[in-house]
Amino acid sequence: MSGPLEFEILAKSNSTSARVGSVKTPHGSFDTPAFMPVGTRATVKGLLPEQIHATGAQIILNNAYHLMLRPGDGLIRDLGGVHAFMQWDGPILTDSGGFQAWSLADTNQFDDDGITFRSLVDGSRIHLTPERSMEVQNNLGADIIMALDDCPPSVTSSDRLKQQRPDLASAHETQIGKDHRRRLVEAVDRTTRWLERCVKSHARPETQALFGIVQGGPDEALRRRSAEQVVAMDLPGYAIGGVAVGESTEAIAATVKLTAPLLPEDRPRYLMGVGYERDLVDAVRSGVDMFDCVLPTRNGRNGGAFTSQGRIQIRNARFREDLEVIEPGCDCTACVGGFSRAYLRHLFTAGEMLGPILLSLHNIRHFERLMVDIRAAIRDDAWSSLARAWPVLDEGLVEAPGTCGEDLADATTRSAD
Amino acid sequence: MSGPLEFEILAKSNSTSARVGSVKTPHGSFDTPAFMPVGTRATVKGLLPEQIHATGAQIILNNAYHLMLRPGDGLIRDLGGVHAFMQWDGPILTDSGGFQAWSLADTNQFDDDGITFRSLVDGSRIHLTPERSMEVQNNLGADIIMALDDCPPSVTSSDRLKQQRPDLASAHETQIGKDHRRRLVEAVDRTTRWLERCVKSHARPETQALFGIVQGGPDEALRRRSAEQVVAMDLPGYAIGGVAVGESTEAIAATVKLTAPLLPEDRPRYLMGVGYERDLVDAVRSGVDMFDCVLPTRNGRNGGAFTSQGRIQIRNARFREDLEVIEPGCDCTACVGGFSRAYLRHLFTAGEMLGPILLSLHNIRHFERLMVDIRAAIRDDAWSSLARAWPVLDEGLVEAPGTCGEDLADATTRSAD
């Protein structure tokens, strides 16, 4: 390999911007479009590395934020890096820690130097700069590392006011909208300045591929401005950030559709923290190659099971005597193993660990199977067969009330797990 | 098979009463002496059946008490029995529910008819009779089922008084000692009457082997009386009950040594709820063939790891940078998988499920490896090589302060898991 990462496009869709590819890293290759399970604290919750492999996942994500706080990135470096630490021999991507600093800390401050927040572990004051984020990620040693970005929420306070006091909203909206746009502009330019510092301080560019992140909210002009600045850095890959921070499926799709074409065709495009099945297919059609999401594991731990027909809540009383596996025909460890919905319901009702384990295995395999089918659909340009095999891609089914428990509701699509 | 169970003795020790054997059940055979991991609620906590098999365990234990309360034995019957329910295709033993009714219920009453207690699940009043225990265990469908017994605690209140008020203890002791002996006699005779009712109401004697239980506390005469009554019933196997209910290793060994020879040589002998490595070897030398214990799984979930040298508490700060696996040379999933003590410590510190999973796998394998070595020691009458390979069998090491964390202290050896 000439650099830390090689991206090869193997097939393209005729009717969309989708492509099938392969990304080669120092720890092996992965097929794209790729779905990465989230292993926040150097473990995909409850699963052994061999079980993760068995789901078909070829690359996983770790969170730099959590690992820098505990057990510490210096310790992981001294122990041989995060691959050796968690005994995962495939590719790993680490995020920068910026999103967690923003979403998890009660009191945090963004300024041009970086982000200041309190540690969730011991309350100590942490200052995360682009340089420190690179140091952390260099210490962890993942194959793909992310630039520290400034990621403002997409939902403005005027949206909330519109719902609560529509009479006041209009006048207020103009000002809030201006404030929000100012914040988005600030985020775009700061993200670029931080990226420059990341590139400069990245100590292992020959073995770790640094991806830049495009910001700009839902605004086309801002996205264009951000993409131009970020792409100018000539990096091995690019991510679409500032998405899945509270907006609808339609808003996500719109932002992705306008942003993906702004990124160079010959580099992998990574949509951070997205999402449901339909979100993935929409993004793939816009030319996105990589995804990560906590949905399969977080929902799995709460009894939420993904099927091609839609989501089910395994705790539901209707599964009490159901001898069927989660999804007949599924080739995951839980379904092939013959564990009935009745048994899984019992495990969740009794608070037994094996329930979350089996549902996590099933749910990750669900997303990995979807990616296999998506790659086939791209090669054959067979989008209607994909839709037939995965009725959940029909929006009506995804949102059907009663198909998923309330536990699913608070599972944000982007976060650590 | 002529009955529900066949027991073949394959080798005998010359210098002790130990024997190697094989027990054939409708769901396959297991080697004896055998260690059974505890899977209280139809799951060995956190482990898939294939992972349990990989530990070398050939038979597991389920608790009738927990399963009758949730999800209900009738439901499990309707779903095809507990083997199909939990997808474990090997032999299963269920206990009667009596011990849990005694040890877990706040308010319970023993009378000649049975045990009355409040459900831990919903507070409802449960009446467990010998007939009901058989019905529950017939519904669950395990290969070996246990008679309902009356199991009084072995530690009398005078023992506690001796520690707290030695001045009052002596006079009090006589009366308490008499009361306790009266209780032990009552338990022996009631256990026999209940066993007769169990035999009479057992609906599936051709496919489920009913074991009788010998009571009698530490008293030789009472043990002899109980054994005579129970053995007269001519059952496929016998258990030594009323042990590991609070007494020392020496007291356990003494009771087992006097009770095992009272049981017929050609039937498997099962010592319920025991114990540490040394307890097992002592009991094997007295002629015991089967064991169950929550120690490997319960300690595993609390960070306690068994090694041939003694127990370690993986949360201990000294493991922070320790790249060694739990026990070098161990062939368990955790050690072969290369997971370092430092990583395991991280998982426990972060509250990650994978920690308990890996330690449970290691600890069960530890006990199963010990049984493999015990069987070899019996065949070759090589007890000193066994002691050399397992320094933990030296009592000094087992009890060494600092080798095991305080979490281990409250892990009683006999109970559900």
- Report whether B189 contacts B136 (CB < 8 A): no
Q: What sign has the CA pseudo-torsion B215, B220, B221, B225?
A: positive
Give the C-alpha distances (Å, rounded to integers) separating A260 from A7, A223, A236, A238, B218: 16, 10, 15, 9, 78
A353-373 as b/e, with b when 16 or more CB fall inside 10 Å?
A: bbbbbbbbbbbbbbbbbbbeb
What is the pLDDT at residue A412? 46
What is the pLDDT at residue B215? 96
What is the pLDDT at residue B350? 97
- Residues from chain A that touch B357, judged by Cβ atoms under 8 A, are 46, 48, 353, 357
**DSSP secondary structure string, A193-228?**
HHHHHHHHH-S-TTTSEEEEEE--TT-HHHHHHHHH
The proportion of chain A whose per-residue pLDDT surpasses 90, expressed as a percent, equals 77
The arithmetic mean of pLDDT across residues B157-182, rounded, is 68
What is the pLDDT at residue B409? 34
Question: Is the Cβ of A324 closer than 8 Å to some Cβ of chain B?
Answer: no
Structure tokens at A112: 């041009």
Dist. CA A361–CA A300, nearest whole Å = 8
The arithmetic mean of pLDDT across residues B133-144, rounded, is 98
**Pairing, β B115-118 against β B6-12:** unpaired
Element (H, E) at A293: strand A290-293
> Are A346 and B70 inside 8 Å of each other by CB?
yes
Q: Which of A320, A342, A352 sits opposite B43 (nearest CB)?
A: A352
Mean pLDDT of chain A: 90
Q: What is the dihedral of CA B161, B162, B165, B169, to 10 degrees?
A: 90
- Any residues with CB less than 8 A from the CB of A178 and at least 6 apart, and which? none
Q: In this predicted model, what pLDDT tens digit does every residue of A366-390 receive, in sequence order?
A: 999 999 999 999 999 999 999 999 9
Q: In this predicted model, what pLDDT tens digit does every residue of B103-112 receive, in sequence order?
A: 766 667 889 9
The arithmetic mean of pLDDT across residues B165-178, rounded, is 69
- With a cut of 70, say whether residue B396 has pLDDT above it: no
Name beta bridge partners: B269: B238
Distance of CA A264 to the CA centre of its chain: 21
The arithmetic mean of pLDDT across residues A126-154, rounded, is 94
Mean pLDDT of chain B: 90
- With a cut of 80, say whether residue A130 has pLDDT above it: yes
What is the pLDDT at residue A402? 32
Dist. CA B35–CA B310, nearest whole Å = 19
- With a cut of 60, say whether residue B301 has pLDDT above it: yes
Element (H, E) at B35: strand B34-37
**DSSP secondary structure string, B74-126?**
HHHHHTT-HHHHHT--S-EEEE-SHHHHHHH-SSEEE-SS-EEEE-TTT--EE
Q: Across chain A, how many H-helices and E-strands are there?
A: 17, 16
Question: Is the Cβ of A321 closer than 8 Å to some Cβ of chain B?
Answer: yes
What is the pLDDT at residue A120? 80
Looking at chain B from residue 219 to 278, which residues have their Cβ under 8 Å from any Cβ of chain A? none
- With a cut of 90, say whether residue B316 has pLDDT above it: yes
**Is residue B292 flagged as an active site residue?**
yes
- Residues from chain B that touch A43, judged by Cβ atoms under 8 A, are 347, 352-354
Q: What is the dihedral of CA B72, B74, B76, B81, to 10 degrees?
A: 140
What is the pLDDT at residue A169? 63
- With a cut of 50, say whether residue A341 has pLDDT above it: yes
- Report whether B267 contacts B235 (CB < 8 A): yes
ipTM of the complex model: 0.94
Dist. CA A370–CA A281, nearest whole Å = 9
What is the pLDDT at residue A178? 84
* Maximum pairwise Cα distance, chain B: 61
Dist. CA A207–CA B108, nearest whole Å = 66
Of A218, A207, A215, A205, the C-alpha closest to A238 is A215
What is the pLDDT at residue B7? 98
Looking at chain A from residue 51 to 110, which residues have their Cβ under 8 Å from any Cβ of chain B? 66, 70-71, 75, 78-80, 85-87
- Report whether B366 contacts B306 (CB < 8 A): yes
| DSSP3 helix / strand / coil % (chain B, rounded to 5) | 45, 15, 35
Long-range contacts of A219-222 (CB under 8 A, 24+ apart): A219/A181, A219/A184, A220/A258, A222/A181, A222/A184, A222/A185, A222/A188
Residue count of chain A, please give it. 417
**Is residue B219 flagged as an active site residue?**
no
- With a cut of 60, say whether residue A406 has pLDDT above it: no
- With a cut of 60, say whether residue A43 has pLDDT above it: yes
Confidence of residue A408 (pLDDT cuts 50, 70, 90): very low
What is the pLDDT at residue B166? 65
- With a cut of 90, say whether residue B408 has pLDDT above it: no
Instruction: Give the active site residue among A73, A95, A143, A417.
Output: A95
What is the pLDDT at residue A20? 98
Question: Is the Cβ of B336 closer than 8 Å to some Cβ of chain A?
Answer: no
What is the pLDDT at residue B404? 28
A133-159 as b/e, with b when 16 or more CB fall inside 10 Å?
A: bbbbbbbbbbbbbbbbbbbbebebebb
Instruction: Give the active site residue among B73, B149, B292, B417.
Output: B292
Q: What is this structure's pTM? A: 0.93
Least confident range from A118-127, B47-56, B288-297, B397-406: namely B397-406
Three-state DSSP state, B394: coil
Dist. CA A67–CA A74, nearest whole Å = 10
What is the pLDDT at residue B256? 97
- Report whether A212 contacts A233 (CB < 8 A): yes
Dist. CA A115–CA A99, nearest whole Å = 10
B336: nearest CA partner in chain A = A87
- Report whether B341 contacts B316 (CB < 8 A): no
**Pairing, β B19-25 against β B28-32:** antiparallel
- Residue type present at position B120: L
> Are B43 and A354 inside 8 Å of each other by CB?
yes
What is the pLDDT at residue B69? 94
The arithmetic mean of pLDDT across residues B278-282, rounded, is 96
Confidence of residue B178 (pLDDT cuts 50, 70, 90): confident
What is the pLDDT at residue A118? 85
Dist. CA B101–CA B96, nearest whole Å = 10
- Residue type present at position A40: T
- Residues from chain B that touch A50, judged by Cβ atoms under 8 A, are 337
> Are A340 and B85 inside 8 Å of each other by CB?
yes
- Any residues with CB less than 8 A from the CB of A406 and at least 6 apart, and which? none
Looking at chain A from residue 185 to 224, which residues have their Cβ under 8 Å from any Cβ of chain B? none
- Report whether B330 contacts B359 (CB < 8 A): no
| Domains of chain B with CATH codes | 6-293 (3.20.20.105), 301-408 (no CATH)
* Maximum pairwise Cα distance, chain A: 61
What is the pLDDT at residue B412? 46
Q: In this predicted model, what pLDDT tens digit does every residue of A56-107 receive, in sequence order?
A: 999 999 999 999 999 999 999 999 999 999 999 999 999 998 887 777 666 6
Q: In this predicted model, what pLDDT tens digit does every residue of B355-372 receive, in sequence order?
A: 999 999 999 999 999 999
Question: Is the Cβ of B346 closer than 8 Å to some Cβ of chain A?
Answer: yes
Cis, bond preceding B166 (omega within 30 deg of 0): no
* Helix residue ranges, H only, A56-129: 64-69, 73-78, 82-86, 98-104
Q: Mutate one of B77, B89, B352, B359 to test the A interface: name it (highest A CB count within 10 A).
A: B352
- Any residues with CB less than 8 A from the CB of A325 and at least 6 apart, and which? A334, A335, A338, A339, A340, A341
What is the pLDDT at residue A177? 78
- With a cut of 80, say whether residue B282 has pLDDT above it: yes
> Are B45 and A87 inside 8 Å of each other by CB?
no
- With a cut of 70, say whether residue B406 has pLDDT above it: no
Q: In this predicted model, what pLDDT tens digit does every residue of B195-225 receive, in sequence order?
A: 999 999 999 999 999 999 999 999 999 999 9
- With a cut of 50, say whether residue B338 has pLDDT above it: yes
- With a cut of 70, say whether residue A164 has pLDDT above it: no
Instruction: Give the active site residue among B95, B279, B282, B289.
Output: B95
- With a cut of 80, say whether residue B398 has pLDDT above it: no
Of A33, A61, A255, the C-alpha closest to A151 is A255
What is the pLDDT at residue B405? 30
Three-state DSSP state, B10: strand
What is the pLDDT at residue B414? 58
Dist. CA A411–CA B329, nearest whole Å = 42
Confidence of residue A246 (pLDDT cuts 50, 70, 90): confident
- With a cut of 50, say whether residue A400 has pLDDT above it: no
Instruction: Give the active site residue among A143, A149, A279, A292.
Output: A292
- Residue type present at position B282: D
The proportion of chain B whose per-residue pLDDT surpasses 90, expressed as a percent, equals 77
- With a cut of 70, say whether residue A221 has pLDDT above it: yes
- Report whether B263 contacts B224 (CB < 8 A): no
Confidence of residue B403 (pLDDT cuts 50, 70, 90): very low
Q: Which of B50, B338, B349 sits opposite A87 (nearest CB)?
A: B338
What is the pLDDT at residue A92? 98
What is the pLDDT at residue A97? 86
